Structure 1
Amino acid sequence: MRGLMRGYIRVADAVNYRLGRIVMYGIFVLMGVLLWSSISKTFFLPSLWTLEMAQFIMVGYYILGGPYSLQLGSNVRMDLLYGEWSLRRKAWVDLFTVLLLIFYLGVLLYGAISSTAYSLGYWKDAPVSYLFGVLTGTEEVGRLEQSSSAWRPYMWPIKVVMIVGFFLMIVQCLSEFCKDVLRLKGEVI
């Protein structure tokens, strides 16, 4: 069992680390879009797409960077008490709180799946099976949701990014859970 946990930790951490290192450069893409927005508003006709594209980039940057942040331990903690605790006590508290986080992320993942199904034109009550059907080719895509802005981009791509981000965050939370279990058993991670 410990070998399986260590293997899972190794794979999950590697995937999220590599993706996080790539996504962290998204801030430069965001800066480029915002710079173009400023230039176009000052010297040319304002671009319709820049504000919404900046929002989409920021969502991807934030959600896909979350697992990397959790892996590095750079998430917000209450260090007033936590910093003085022993490693064993920290592992117990982290073990409990990561379970709450997994539940919360599961709810967010289900909401993202429902929202993505809606954006692909599905209005019934089984969004998970619908998306699985779309992926396997047994379901058809309906009328695609578009933003109500003047640019009118399709909404499904950013919603798919949300699904991927929440799923990877759950994967990383399970890795942190395994690390805490191994720490409680006295192993060094």
Structure 2
Amino acid sequence: MNKLIDAVDGFTEYTGRWIALLILPLIFVVLYEVLMRRVFNAPTTWAFEVTVYCYGAHFILGMAYTMLYDSHVRIDIIVLQMPERIQLWLRVITFVIIFLPFVGILTIAAVKYAAESWIMNEHSWSAWKPPLYPYKTVMPIGLLMLMAQGIACFLKDLKKLKGGKDGA
């Protein structure tokens, strides 16, 4: 079990560092568009969609990395006042009742969404008309990564509950 957890954590760590670099083309495209629009009065037809694609991929592919470091936004005012063992039990219970069904159903829907886009060779409605199917494929990939990392975190929590040292 430790090998599985280590493999998922390692994969998430490695991919997360590369995914973070998606911010660089996003910055470049935004700066380019601002320069073209404001200085040369020649706006592009493609920059807005590229920024949406880069940011969307950055966001959805970064979810697993965020979970690895327990950095998702949440309000823990009451939970943090409880003993660690109760916090662990709450994480385990909410994983089974909320996380697993929600991310599972969302992943299934995203796979269907992407598959339909590939089948119909879907393109954007804009003047630039880029293909949408590669972008829509990022959704199920990111959700599968999130699911794998969620399972790894769940297993670490179970190990802590059984008395294992720091869940590793």
Q: TM-score, normalised by structure 2?
A: 0.93
Cross-structure match for 1:138: none
CA RMSD of superposed structures (Å): 1.1
Match 1:76 to one of 63, 66, 73:
73
Match of 1:8 in 2: 4
In structure 2, distance between residues paired with 1:79 and 1:109: 27
Moved over 3 A (4+): none
Specify the alignment match of 1:115 in structure 2. Answer: 113
SS at match of 2:13: helix
Contact 1:120 1:156 in 2 (8 A): yes
Alignment partner of 1:41 is 2:18: no
- Counterpart residue number, 1:57: 54
- What does the per-residue CA deviation read over 1:5-60, in whole Å, with 9 as the maximum and x for residues that have no partner? x1111000000111111111222221111111111112152111100110011111
Amino acid at match of 1:36: Y
Query: Partner residue of 1:134?
Result: none
Give, in whole Å, the separation in 2 of the partners of 1:163 and 1:113: 5
Quick one: distance in 2 between partners of 1:98 and 1:62? 21
For residues 86 and 75 of structure 2, the distance between their equivalents in structure 1, rounded to whole angstroms, comes to 14
Count of paired positions? 164
Q: Tell me how far 1:79 sits from its aligned partner.
A: 2.0
Residue identity in the other structure for 1:154? P
1:98 equivalenced with 2:95 (yes/no): yes
Whole-Å Cα distance in 2 between the matches of residues 37 and 177 of structure 1? 43
Match of 2:152 among 159, 172, 175: 175
Structure 1 gaps, min length 5: 122-142
Instruction: Give the match's secondary structure for 1:45.
Output: coil
Deviates more, 1:175-184 or 1:102-111: 102-111
Question: Which of 147-156 and 94-103 deviates more?
Answer: 94-103
2:140 aligns with 163
Deviations 1:86-115 (A, max 9, x none): 221111000011221121111111111111
Cα pair 1:98 1:176 within 8 Å, conserved: no
